[in-house]
Amino acid sequence: MSIRFEGRHVLVTGASRGLGRAVAIAFAREGARVGVGYRAQEADATQTLAMVEAAGGRGEAVRFDVRDSAETNGAISGFARGGGLDVLVNNAAVLRDQLFAMMAPSEWEEVIAANLTGTFHCCRAAIPFMLRQRRGAIVNIASVAGRRASPGQANYAAAKGGVLSLTMTLAAELAPRGVRVNAVVPGVLATGMGERLDRRIAEQRRAMIPLGRFGEGDEVARAVVFLASDDSSYVVGQSLVVDGGLSL
């Protein structure tokens, strides 16, 4: 088995649990130095870090709030100065589901700030390091909610739709300078946010998936690793859907 990321430096936001944890571990298996980005769940981040090291990678916890531009810039710069920054995975996200007519401005603003503006802050902080080395990969975690109607998730859908558009534009701007930008579009997963679904809603959504089950974090993580690796060296500005057929 090839070790595609030995000597490479990878930062994953929102990596204290759920999908972010699966992504961090997947890169560790490939030999990477992994930055476990987190905001508040220190105990969970420490557990992810132990899993990263058990999987064969080197790791460090990187605490910052993606909504805060200065904090994000300082944290990402600090990680990069520890050896470099080859891959950024923008995974940090929040949910504040509510029907639009009942959605409070704070519920809209919090989701946009974390899911879309947070992606902007992280990219802005990471890109200068990648441009200096004329090499790098950014993988943004979007959602099927950004590609189709998702009642009760107007804020989340708008944010993730914005992430998909940002991915394409950044890809066009950065590809000539050696930095590839792509997105992974997960469906409903059995980990992270999917674990917190109401049971009745979960069953309704499962019935809509042609494969008849929710996805596993590792299934999405493998797609992230592919898009960050040299195996996808000619893939630019694409959105790889990993949803068991939900969006068909």
Domain count, the chain: 1
| 22-36, 52-66, 139-153, 209-223: least confidently modelled range | 139-153
pLDDT digit string, tens, across residues 42-95: 999 999 999 999 999 999 999 999 999 999 999 999 999 999 999 999 999 988
Residue 4 domain-assigned (yes or no)? no
Span 14-43, pLDDT tens digits: 999 999 999 999 999 999 999 999 999 999
- Residue 35 inside a domain? The answer is yes
Closest to 63 (Cα-Cα) out of 77, 51, 45: 45
| 123 in any annotated domain | yes
Is 2 contained in some domain?
no
Contacts of 18 (CB under 8 A, 6+ apart): 189, 191, 192, 193, 195, 217
Overall pTM > 0.85: yes
More confident residue, 119 or 41: 119
Instruction: Answer yes or no: is 30 within a domain.
Output: yes
Residue showing tokens 């940090």: 92
Amino acid residing at 57:
G
Closest C-alpha among 15, 76, 19 to residue 48: 15
Do the Cβ atoms of 178 and 153 come closer than 8 Å?
no
> Confidence class of residue 100 from pLDDT cuts 50, 70 and 90?
confident
Range(s) of the domain holding residue 135: 9-242
Distance of alpha carbon 178 from alpha carbon 136, whole angstroms: 7
Q: CB–CB of 122/88 below 8 Å?
A: yes
CATH value at residue 175: 3.40.50.720
Q: Phi then psi for 243, rounded to 5 degrees?
A: -140, 15
Which helix (H) or strand (E) is 165 found in, with range?
A: helix 154-174
Residue 170 within any structural domain of the chain: yes
Q: Which residues are catalytic?
A: 156
